[in-house]
Structure formats: C-alpha cells, structure tokens
Structure 1
Amino acid sequence: MAARRNLTEDQNRALHDGLVIPAHPLALLEDRGLDETSQRALTRYYIASGAGGVAVGVHSTQFQIRDPRFGLFEKVLRMASEEVDRARIERPFLKIAGLCGGTEQALAEADIAAGLGYDAGLLSMGGLNEWTEEQILDRTALVAERMPIIGFYLQPSVGGRRFTFGFWKRFVDIPGIAGIKIAPFNRYQTLDVVRAVCHSDRRDEIALYTGNDDHIVSDLLTVYRFRVGGQTVEKRIVGGLLGHWAVWTHKAVALLEEIKKARVRGNIDPEWLVRNMEVTDCNAAFFDPAHGFAGCIPGIHEVLRRQGLMKGTWCLNPHETLSPGQMEEIDRVYRDYPHLHDDDFVRAHLQSWLAE
C-alpha cells in the first residue's frame, strides 16, 4: 500500500482559511444516461466562480452512481479531475472524493480517488446504523491511511445517525483527519463536534466546514469558545462544503469573502442575521424540508436547469422528483432574493463552458 499523500502546504493553508466547496451534482439526459457535456460544464462553472474545490461522488452526485447498473463512480470522478487539471488553476484547489460503504468499499473507493489525483476523501458514515461507534472509528482509521479524510456528520433524515461527544473526541485524534463537514442540521450536535475538536491536541490541524444548509451564514460568523484545561480555546467553522453551494456559486464565493472581512472587523452588523434568514429561505426551496428533503437533489437540478447548466432535473432514481409546490417555492425565492443568484454571471460564460 502506498503511503498517504498529504495536502500540500498551500492547500492546507487554503483549507484552514476557508473555501467554498460545492457538492458536485450529476447531469443526466432524459433516458438517464450521463450528459457528459453538462457534467463538464458544471465543473467549469465551479472553477470559474472562484470555488476552492469540488466534492464529487457525494450525496449531491447521487449515491446510485456506485450501482453496477450505472457504473458511474469512477467516470464522474475522472471527468471532474480532468477538468480541474485542464484549467490549470493558479489558486489552491481541492479535489475531494466522496467515500462510502463498509470498510472494503470505502478503501477501494479511496484507492480509485487517489489514483485519479484526488486530494482528500469526504468519508460518509451513512448506511452504517448497525455498526458500533468503535467499528466506525476503526474503519475511519484504515481509510485515513490511504488519503487525507474529511469527516462527515450527516443528518439522520437523509441517512445519517447521531454520534456521541465521546465518538468525536476519538475521531479527531485519528492521524490523517484533515477536516470535518458538520451537517447534522442540529445546534446541539454541531456543538458536540466543535467542542470535541477544541479538546484535542490536533485542534489546529483540523479545519471545520459547515454542511448545515439551514444555518450557513451564522455558522460562518460564530466564534466557538470553550474552556479546555483551564484555558480558553476558540475555533471557527471557516468555510462550507455544501450542496446548497452547488447553485449560485459565484455569489456564494462573494458571500464567504464578505464574511471573512466581517470576521476581521469583529463588529458583526445585524444585517448578517437577515442574510442568514434569506439564505436559509432559499435553501428551504431547493432542499425541500417541507417534504422531508425528498426533493433536495431535483431542487438543485431545477436551479441549474433554469440557468442552462443542466438539461433537466432527472435523477438515477426515476421516483426522485420535485415535490408538490417545490417549483413554486423556487420561483418565489428567485423573485424575493435577486441579489443572491448569479444568473448574469452564468449567462455571460455558459456557451464557453458547454463547448467541447
């Protein structure tokens, strides 16, 4: 087994400074074959928008890509990697591969990702509800020997599970853990992760990223402060690895840069609370919590379809469609928050991204 290739110094610095990392969708044709032109256009869009990386093979890419009927896992990872390499990006840019399944599957996926030049793996713990926390920790340690790992606290309503504070204390001490995507959509569980990191000697080695699509702006503005060993320790969630940021990405990059400036000033304008509400309202339209998140992937697709980046909202599962009223909700947030969408930016560049 080859030794783990760690992030470069520049990549690690950028990861800790805070990046916009979209969770890459899967572009399909009506017959549910891969739309390679649109798939490549999406990666080009994220690069041009100023994102600091892409996460491919994750929930937004649809877990069914691993099904032998489709056999798309390696293909979509390869296509995104090719586009990133072709772009010759001058800023640090992370290629992050979604890894899931039992230990053997996760190790095999890590090997594929590393072979395709991916820099880190986002290790899902979904679908392992019968496993003990000890077993999941053992699995994590083995996968982290293959490539740097970003842990993933996924909300139970879409296949995740709740973990104890003690689990996270042990998780963050595993060598090779470079970051954690915190996405339980729950304040208490978010605090568990941040507090566990603050209690670890590796606290400065681990970058925290929000996946709480219902609380993005507030997550990024909050200083988390705890008493550890008689001293005060502070930690921030520095960036986002988000399905929500797979749409309107150019504006998301601008938003994160504004937040970074506000952090430096230290005096947080109350208008940021309004912005948090606006972004959450948009996410409710895209992610469909009104129907238990049933339309979250088609909702992302619908926004990209309107912009011309995808041809339709089709998913590999033909039953995965927009929920009743979801189209009207997307209409509403488009109308109510025109300052949050990046339609003009996409319109100006779309044809070049769609070019072969």
Structure 2
Amino acid sequence: MKIQDINKEILNSFRKGCVIPAVPLALDENRKFDEQHQKALIRYYMDAGVGGLAVGVHSTQFEIREHGMFEQVLSAVSSEIDSWATLRGRTILKVAGVCGNTEQAIREARYAVSAGYHACLLSLAALKEKSMEELLSHCRQIAAIMPVIGFYLQPSVGGMALPYDFWKEFAAIPNVLGIKMAPFNRYKTFDVVRAVCDAGKENEITLYTGNDDNIVPDLLTEYAISTEEGIKKVRIKGGLLGHWCVWTRKAVELLNEVHALLDSGKDIPHELLTRGVQITDTNAAFFDTANDFAGCIPGLHEVLRRQGLFKGTWCLNPHEVLSPGQEDEITRVYKAYPHLNDDAFVSGHLSEWLK
C-alpha cells in the first residue's frame, strides 16, 4: 500500500493536521476484551471530531500481542470505525501500531493492511541493540508494505535516543507519511524537524506532536530552519497523543482554535499559553509523572471510567494499577480546570454510544 492509495479526503485531513488519539483498550472485570465499551469509545472519538485513530500502540497496551489479542482488537476497531463512519458520513485515518523485531513487524504490518488500516506507527523500541543502518533497513522493509509514521518515543517508556543523522536518513525513505515526535525533549524534537528540512522532505512528511508535556507550544511554534536551500518554515500540524484519548472533544476544539489563529495571522493570546500549562498539569496527573509514568495507562482509564465510557481501570497486567495518590491528583485537576473536560458532551451521547 502506498501513500497515494489513501483516500484523498483522509490524506488532506492528515496533512492539514488533525487530532489522532492513541486508543486505550476496553477490558471487563475479568480482563477480557470488552467489545461494547470499545465500540462506545470509538464512537465517542469520531463524534468528537477526530481525524484519525491509532490502535495497537502504547495506550492500547503492547501486551495485547502476548495475549493473542492483536488481530482481534485491530479488526474490531477497524470494523467499528467503518460502521460508524458510514452512519455519520465521515472518513478518518486508521493507524495501526507496529512493533517488535523485523519479522514480527512485517507480520503486523501485513495484517494491518488486510484489516483496512491506512498507515502504521512504527515503534523501534524492540531494536535498541541494533545499529543505525539496521534500524533504517527495518524501517525500509515496513515502508515497502504500507505508509509509515515514524515514532520518536521517550526513553522513560521504552524508547531510545535517535540522532539527527537517523532522522535525516529516515526522512529519505519512500512511503513515509509523517513523524510523531514524542521524546518529551525540546532538543530532540528540534533534531527531527531540522533533519526533515535538511532531507528536503518538509512538504512530504507531516510532523505531529506526541510531546504530551508540551502540546500547545508545539502546535503554535513556527520553525525557521536554515538549510543549504535557504530558510524553511515548518510547523507541527497536529497531534497523535495518548493525552488526547481523554477529554477528546476539547482537544478537537483546541486544535481548530490553533489552526484558525495561525491562519488569521493574529498574535497568540496569553490565555492560550496559560491553557497550555494547565493542559500539561492535567497530563501530569493522568500520566502519573510523579511516579515515572507507572500509572499512565490506568490514569487514562480512570478518566474514561468517571465518564462512563469504561467500566473500570483494568489492564492486562494485573500489577499495572493507579499509583498511590494518583486518583486524588486526577480529582484535583478536574476541579482546577473544569473548562478542559468534555464530561457534558460525553453524558449527552453516552447512551447512544453504548447501544
């Protein structure tokens, strides 16, 4: 599958920049796949106005592979996206998480194509001992199967440091659709932006933030990169974020607001920067930064549980639970920033989504 095979409306939405939540996994009290609540979650995201969904990624729990659930979850989500899209007259980008060694990644990418996914978010976390050329060879083999979104994952949750030279070579690989930058590090984020510009791919590779700690500044910043061809001005267009899998309607409104502001050429209001810091504070509670992200997935589940979209916070790993004090932190940010949640939107549609 090639980039040109993607529906033009979907591709244009991705290029403009859209909200792409990293989809959590719905489980019941027996830690079995809860298809009813998984479908409700997909319907919520689509009605909230997202431009894409990413499945089989960190927020979906990498353990779905160990539990033999990878194909089941990807198939169920893809089918529900198609059904709800038909009902709502919409199209959105379907992104499959692909990880593991090259043999596993090839198998997952091939399945993703067969299940109707348009692109893969390619994790290199399992290849930490490989050389840069081996990493690039791995990426080329997956890109030969389907469009690839590169993934710079922070080391604290399994990623590795990837230098400028890697990203410049990666950007030259055919069939690279975009790059999600999530090193949670401004220096390393800049490495990716500069590498894409130096490779001459700034108009072909769309940049997305995965920096949940810096969402608003990432979306507002214009980069002016000095290259041999002159100054190239580029922006991060959207977000592929775990944080945006909760309070998603507000995320869509935020991105629309940012796009409208940038299009207008008006000055950035101080309030928007203040709101950005507030969003970072909520992320600290949801992602459990106080405990080195130990409760990041249960934290997201807890927000969805409070809204009625999930029945509980269960994870496939029974030891993956809310950290001590995390529930209180989530309550604190709920009270501190009521303008950031979309509880009213969810409550107004929940019964329809759960049918």
Q: TM-score, length-normalised on structure 1?
A: 0.97
Q: Which of 80, 84, 102 pairs up with 2:81?
A: 84
Paired position in structure 2 for 1:121: 120
Secondary structure in 2 matching 1:201 = coil
Contact 1:6 1:147 in 2 (8 A): no
Cα distance in structure 2, aligned partners of 1:12 and 1:3 = 12
Counterpart code for 1:126: A
Query: Mapping of 1:138-287 within 5 angstroms?
Result: 138-266=137-265, 267-287=267-287
- Structure 1: distance between partners of 2:62 and 2:354: 25
- What pairs with 1:91-102 in structure 2 (closer than 5 Å)? 91-102=90-101
Amino acid corresponding to residue 279 of structure 1 in structure 2: I
Amino acid at match of 1:79: A
Match of 2:302 in 1: 302
- Deviation (angstroms), 1:127: 2.2
Q: For residue 8 of structure 1, what is the aligned residue in structure 2?
A: 7
Gaps of 5+ in 1: none
Cα shift at 1:134: 0.9
Q: CA contact under 8 A between 2:2 and 2:175: conserved in structure 1?
A: no
- Identity of matched residues, %: 56
Asked if structure 1 preserves the Cα contact closer than 8 Å seen for 2:3 and 2:177, the reply is: no
Q: After TM superposition, give the deviation of residue 84 of structure 1 in Å.
A: 1.1
The alpha-carbon deviation at position 6 of structure 1 amounts to 3.2
Give the aligned partner of residue 350 of structure 1: 350
Q: 2:118·2:147 contact (CA, 8 Å) conserved in 1?
A: yes
Please give the alpha-carbon distance, in whole angstroms, between the structure 1 residues aligned to 2:299 and 2:169: 36
- Counterpart of 2:24 in structure 1 is 25
Instruction: Classify the secondary structure of the residue corresponding to 1:202.
Output: coil
- Residue pair 2:97, 2:121 contacting (<8 A) in 1 also: yes
CA offset at residue 199 of structure 1?
A: 1.1
Greater shift, 83-92 or 309-318, is seen at 83-92
Partner of 2:125: helix, strand, or coil? coil
Matched, 1:71 2:97: no
Deviation at 1:201, TM superposition (A): 2.2
Following the alignment from structure 1 to structure 2, what is the Cα–Cα distance between the partners of residues 231 and 56?
A: 38
| C-alpha distance in structure 1 between counterparts of 2:32 and 2:229, whole Å | 58
Residue 262 of structure 1 and its aligned partner are, at CA, apart by: 1.2
Whether contact under 8 Å (1:4, 1:146) holds in the other structure is no
In 1, Cα distance between equivalents of 2:82 and 2:162? 37
SS at match of 1:204: coil
Q: Does 1:108 find its partner at 2:107?
A: yes
Alpha-carbon shift at residue 202 of structure 1 (Å): 2.1
Aligned mates of 2:324, 2:107 — CA distance in 1: 39
The whole-number CA distance in structure 2 between the counterparts of 1:50 and 1:78 is 22
Query: What secondary structure, in the 3-state scheme, does the structure 2 residue paired with 1:271 have?
Result: helix
- Give the RMSD, CA atoms, in angstroms: 1.2
TM-score between the two structures when normalised by the length of structure 2: 0.97
Q: Which SS does the other structure have where 1:104 is aligned? A: helix
Aligned-residue offset at 1:197: 0.8
- Which residue of structure 2 lines up, in the alignment, with residue 41 of structure 1? 40
1:134 corresponds in structure 2 to 133
